[in-house]
């Protein structure tokens, strides 16, 4: 019995988290422009969050491009390695 999880599953979870973060940033920017006074602090913090997300996406792409996404993680081997007995 094999408990193999493909690496693509983890990539999908990561991309889902990045999309949620981008959606939160865009919603923040929309509410900032639509409903609030454009104070320097709110504009700066929204820009820092959006720029940080863009940097995370860029650095992630550089690191993730070298992974062979056809492989899988066998949980039985991981659990055997964690079991001290």
Range of the domain at 27: 1-45+52-64
pLDDT of residue 69: 85
Cα distance from N-terminal residue to C-terminal residue, the chain:
20
- Number of domains the chain contains: 1
Contact residues for 28 (Cβ-Cβ < 8 A; gap 6+): 46, 49
Each residue of 27-55: pLDDT tens digit? 878 888 888 777 888 778 878 887 888 89
Each residue of 1-23: pLDDT tens digit? 678 889 899 989 988 998 898 88
Each residue of 53-81: pLDDT tens digit? 889 889 988 998 998 888 888 888 888 88
Tell me whether residue 74 is in a domain: no
Helix, strand counts (H, E) of the chain: 3, 2
Tell me whether residue 19 is in a domain: yes
Tell me whether residue 11 is in a domain: yes
Tell me whether residue 15 is in a domain: yes
pLDDT of residue 16: 93
Tell me whether residue 80 is in a domain: no
């Amino acid at each position: 019995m094999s408990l193999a999880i493909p690496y693509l599953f983890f990539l999908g979870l990561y991309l889902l988290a990045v999309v949620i973060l981008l959606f939160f940033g865009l919603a923040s920017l929309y509410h900032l422009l639509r409903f609030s006074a454009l104070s320097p602090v709110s504009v700066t913090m929204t820009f820092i969050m959006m720029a940080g997300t863009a940097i995370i996406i860029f650095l992630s792409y550089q690191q993730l491009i070298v992974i062979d996404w056809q492989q899988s993680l066998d949980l039985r081997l991981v659990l055997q390695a964690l079991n001290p007995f």
